[in-house]
Amino acid sequence: MIWEFDEELATDMFLCATCKKCDIKCQTDLKIAHQFINMRTIMGGKDFENTGLGMIRQNVLNSGNFWGLPKEALDWKTDDMKMAETGTIGYWPGCWSSAVTKNMPQNVVRILEKADIELVNLGEQEEICCGLYLALGGYTEDFVKGVERNINLINEKGIKTLIFSCPGCFATFTEQYSAVAEMLGLNWDVETKHVVVLLDELIKDGKLKLENPLDKKVTYHDACHVSRWFNAYDYPRDVIKAIPGVEFVEMEHNREEALCCGIVTAFNDLPTVAHCGQKRIGEATETGADYLVTNCAGCASQLNLTSNMMEAPVKQKDITDLLCDSMRIEVTYDPTEAIGQFMGQAIELLGKSCIHRR
């Protein structure tokens, strides 16, 4: 069978949320999500474009970030934070947490200070988007240019280990940057690590003291791009279980079988975004948990907003929020209002997203 490259086929290729649930279910062990991503590059080469991803592309090219915001809007640092300009351990917060869920990077810096880790500040004036949404849109040339710039910045800082809050950024760096560096003849000898892995290591090494009991029932949402993509199921659960007083419960679908929050489908199918969010909040509510814990800014935004819209008893919390509470570190930023504003803007922006031929 020979497929004709038309808008109907292109639409199907852009429906994939890259959650890798198909990869888990496939009996022949095919890497289905990556095939869909590769097909988007082919579609881009044939001038097919998802208009929503096209708008994100313009934001990244013009402003360096997903939202198209001025650089100062991405500044999440506070005066009490100490960060180095050069060093071996760098921190990459990502566009979404820098703009929307600022509690995540703020918490990370304050927690790691307790372990005597001073992170290298890449700087909102220099750091640009990791390139995930350029890759998802099939904008290969733009993606490579962005990766080159980021590699040069990270090498200039002397970084050897790069810590991520965003699973999407983590996945993009881990799976794509080495190949691009080799293609361009650039040096890239940098270990990539999601922050939840580092936190688990520090707790088990006794470098973080969790002393304040929380006395809460919590459940955990597996973010696709760090769980199914890298089998990182135990690290976050071990972190949560290390907090005194916490009762941990699983949702019906968890670990490999966890449901995607659905937010990546916003570029193609907004009703599916709502369906996925409501389904996940429903499962969390059934556990009787006080908190639905996340470690991804996108998942946090989707589940925070959905929980509030459903007036559900379970509330979204980032995993670092819980650690801060147990370590008696003040969490100074509540992202709820910003999430409502930014998600509203995203829905308006993507409401008419479709596939067209340039």
pLDDT higher at 349 or 318: 318
Q: How far apart are CA 326 and CA 50, in angstroms?
A: 44
Residue type, 207: K
User: Is 152 a domain residue?
Assistant: no
Over residues 105-116, the pLDDT tens digits come to: 999 999 999 999
Q: Residue 290: give its domain's CATH number.
A: 3.40.50.1860
Side-chain half-sphere exposure of 266, counting CA atoms within 13 A = 23
User: Is 302 a domain residue?
Assistant: yes
Is residue 188 within 8 Å of residue 178, measured between CB atoms?
yes
pLDDT higher at 266 or 26: 266
Task: Tell me what the pLDDT averaged over the chain comes to.
Answer: 88
Over residues 123-137, the pLDDT tens digits come to: 655 678 999 989 888
User: Is 135 a domain residue?
Assistant: no
> Is 1's pLDDT higher than 60?
no
pLDDT higher at 187 or 138: 187
> Is 326's pLDDT higher than 90?
yes
Provide the residue range defining the domain that includes 298.
207-348
Here the tokens at position 194 are 């999601």
Tell me how many domains the chain contains: 1
Q: What is the pLDDT of residue 123?
A: 67
Q: What is the pLDDT of residue 289?
A: 97
pTM of the model: 0.90
User: Is 254 a domain residue?
Assistant: yes
Measuring CA to CA, which residue among 114, 310, 339 is closest to residue 205?
Answer: 114
> Is 206's pLDDT higher than 80?
yes
Q: How far apart are CA 151 and CA 40, in angstroms?
A: 24
User: Is 243 a domain residue?
Assistant: yes
Q: How many CB atoms lie within 10 A of CB 38?
A: 14
**In sequence order, which ranges of 291-356 are alpha helices (DSSP H)?**
297-310, 319-326, 336-350
User: Is 18 a domain residue?
Assistant: no
Give the mean pLDDT of 164-180: 93
User: Is 196 a domain residue?
Assistant: no
Which H or E run includes 21?
A: helix 21-25
> Is 276's pLDDT higher than 60?
yes
User: Is 166 a domain residue?
Assistant: no
* Dihedral sign computed on CA atoms, order 136, 140, 142, 145: positive
